[in-house]
A and B are shown apart, each in its own frame.
Chain A
């Protein structure tokens, strides 16, 4: 049976089932993308509008907000300006973040090296599930353990109340460890096999290979892992709030109570009224948090780009 040219043309030009599916798939994934992007933009817009209200409607000086040391939004100082100095919280947040990253990094990289280089079979079999399990523990559980184990321990060892940056660091160290470990392991896995083979063929020992070749080649990836861990530590709220003491004071020692941006937010938000200065000041803290997480993201991207150029 032969077909007329018109029929043939129609059949050839008609959209096939595969093409229809193709369009359908595109529409679905594009809508998902649009919705997610809209949500992100909406959140940033909302936090920014609320957070900037402190400076626009309440006329707080941005510099005095970032550099002031007194945080008492409900009272005004000698000049009639509200006491909204966030420096102590910003310092507290950074101190805890950097300290926990400093402590976690050697452990994480050590674990990753063991899993990938020294004992890939056994290491991966035992350590992989362990790190994944650590990721899955909710932060309130970490906080609770911190409260009932670490706080009494620091209290018994260093005196004071036991609440403070040291306790916060201990809790966060365990919390970010799995993130940094699994990302470091990915970074080591990405080092081409022939690097190791070449190094071993030149007569280097396994440790020399790891230290001088694998770790060097994986440096950008390892740095990304650490920054990711820091971003997580910076944003963690509940567990830190339970052990840090929530005192908006400049930290003088690691065992004195201190505050982080997140801990002040979680304790304060229920006791303020929408639209008041006290509430706006908390939103400004949230804005600082958001900006900082954007900065962390930028750093990660920068490191990634540098790594590719090498």
Chain B
């Protein structure tokens, strides 16, 4: 009986101690400030790395970064549930989002390229051929100058930012025919590498020796070609805030857009910096030339 009493009081003490601990830590993190950024998995590595660096430089702050997808990021920021919504798309392009009231902060540019399995014998295509491949008008690589291998389409999930960008600028607005869908770029790369006849599309940073990046209309998928818009398939990476950012959110976004991050972390992780670009693109796909800095 006494042993049981003792156990009970011990349990109670642990509970109380945990409660005090939780209360204390809440106070501390609140005093320094913490913000949450949610959304695009393509942008997640950059925001995470920048957040860690920022928290290292500014003691007591904490940048909480979560994935979930572009749709999640935009709907969470619209509801005001988080401080930053990460998105691969302009908010106006995402269905169900009222873009008014959301403020766009562009932090990176990402180039996207079609990739094919090395055994297809394909190194370049025209836009017309690419559209024919993705809409199912051609079903064998020999019809577009490759080897006699049937074409296997691999798409990203519907609503994925990479897919939306690829269909808009790579397929000239055509919709890909229904084919198998994968929900991450890493998975897509691996499947293209191992499946004969496979074609898909990934961000430049995912291209490795195992897959063949495809040149389009004799333009190679390189960063230099993205900067002057000769390679058309690219998109901005956005941090969205509800209204103008304030406090820590504002400081953090400024930090991500600062040359210190843009010249190091952004390049290191395979993105381009918006400040490098010689052109600017608006939400309708209209291109305007700007005086980009060479670097």
List the interface of chain A (C-beta within 8 A of B).
70-75, 152, 155, 160-163, 245-249, 257, 259, 266-279
Contact = CB atoms under 8 A, between A and B. Distances in A.
A248 B195 contact: no
A268 B180 contact: no
17 contacts: A70-B178, A72-B175, A163-B191, A246-B157, A246-B181, A247-B180, A248-B181, A267-B183, A271-B69, A271-B71, A272-B159, A273-B74, A273-B78, A273-B94, A276-B96, A278-B96, A279-B96
A161 B193 CA distance: 11
A247 B152 CA distance: 12
Contact of B157 (A257, A267, A273): A267
Contacts, number: 94
Interface in B17-71: 41, 67-71
B38 to A, nearest CB: 10
Given A160-B152, A273-B95, A275-B96, A74 B195 contact: no
B179 interface: yes
Report, nearest first, the 10 A-B pairs whose CB atoms are least far apart: A270-B69, A276-B96, A271-B159, A257-B180, A273-B96, A245-B180, A273-B75, A247-B180, A246-B181, A267-B157
B175 A267 contact: no
B72 interface: yes
B181 to A, nearest CB: 4
Contacts of B69: 269-271
B139 interface: no
Nearest to B41: A270
Contacts of A70: 178
Contacts of A270: 41, 67-72, 183
Contacts of A257: 179-180
B140 interface: no
Contacts of B183: 246, 266-267, 270
Contacts of A246: 157, 180-183
Contacts of A271: 69-72, 157-160
Contacts of A274: 75, 79, 96
A152 B71 contact: no
Given A163-B180, A267-B183, A268-B159, A74 B70 contact: no
Given A71-B178, A246-B182, A152 B194 contact: yes
A278 B159 contact: yes
A246 B157 CA distance: 9
Contacts of B130: none
Contacts of A72: 158, 175, 178
B195 A155 contact: yes
B211 interface: no
A77 to B, nearest CB: 12
B198 interface: yes
Contacts of B194: 152, 155
Nearest to A88: B178
